[in-house]
A and B are shown apart, each in its own frame.
Chain A
Amino acid sequence: MTVASDPPAHKNKRPRKLLKNWMAKLASLPMILTALVVFVGGTAWTVTYSFTGSRMLPKTNWVGFDQYERLWSSDRWMISIKNLGIYGICSLILTLVIGFTLAACLDRKIRFEGVFRSIFLYPFALSFVVTGLAWQWILNPDFGMQSVVRDWGWTTFNFDPLNNPDIVMFGLLIAGIWQGSGLIMCIMLAGLRGIDEDIWKATRVDGIGTVKTYVMVIIPMMRPVFVTALVLIAAGIIKLYDLVVAQTGGGPGLSSEVPAKYVIELMFRAQNLGQGFAASTMMLCSVVIILIPWAYLEFGGRKRG
Chain B
Amino acid sequence: MADMTTNTSVDPRGPKPKRAFSRSNIFLYGTLIMVSMYYLLPLYVMIVTSLKGMPEIRMGNVFGPPMEITFEPWVKAWSEACTGINCDGLSRGFGNSVRILVPSVLLSIAIASVNGYALSNWKFKGSETFFTILIIGAFIPYQTMLYPIVIMLREIGLMGSIWGLVLVHTVFGMPILTLLFRNYFTSIPEELFKAARVDGAGFWQIYFQIMIPMALPIFVVAIILQVTGIWNDFLFGVIYTKPATYPMTVQLNNIVNSVQGVKEYNVNMAATLLTGLVPLVIYFASGKLFVRGIAAGAVKG
Contacts and interface: CB of A to CB of B under 8 A. Distances in A.
Report whether over half of chain B's contact residues are helix, strand or loop; otherwise say mixed: helix
Contact of A235 (B63, B139, B152): B139
Given A35-B130, A144-B62, A110 B137 contact: no
Contacts, number: 261
Nearest to A242: B234
A268 B239 contact: yes
B279 A126 contact: yes
Interface string B206-232: 000000000000000000000010011
Contacts of A137: 45-46, 49, 62, 265, 268-269
A264 B146 contact: yes
Report whether over half of chain A's contact residues are helix, strand or loop; otherwise say mixed: helix
Interface residues of B, number: 91
B146 A122 contact: no
B21 interface: no
Contacts of A119: 36, 39-40
Nearest to B174: A34
Interface stretch (A24-32, A87-95, A161-169): A24-32
A151 B60 CA distance: 9
26 contacts: A17-B125, A24-B122, A24-B124, A35-B131, A102-B32, A106-B32, A109-B15, A118-B284, A121-B283, A121-B291, A122-B284, A123-B39, A126-B276, A133-B253, A133-B272, A134-B45, A148-B60, A151-B61, A183-B298, A187-B298, A235-B139, A260-B141, A276-B147, A281-B144, A283-B144, A287-B140
The 5 A-B residue pairs with the shortest CB-CB distance, nearest first, are A127-B232, A39-B137, A24-B122, A42-B148, A125-B283
Interface of B: 15, 24, 28-29, 31-32, 35-36, 38-43, 45-46, 49, 57-58, 60-63, 111, 114-115, 118-119, 122-125, 127, 130-131, 133-134, 136-137, 139-149, 151-152, 170-171, 174, 178, 202-204, 228, 231-235, 239, 249-250, 252-253, 256-257, 265, 268-269, 272, 275-276, 279-280, 282-284, 287, 290-291, 294-295, 298-300
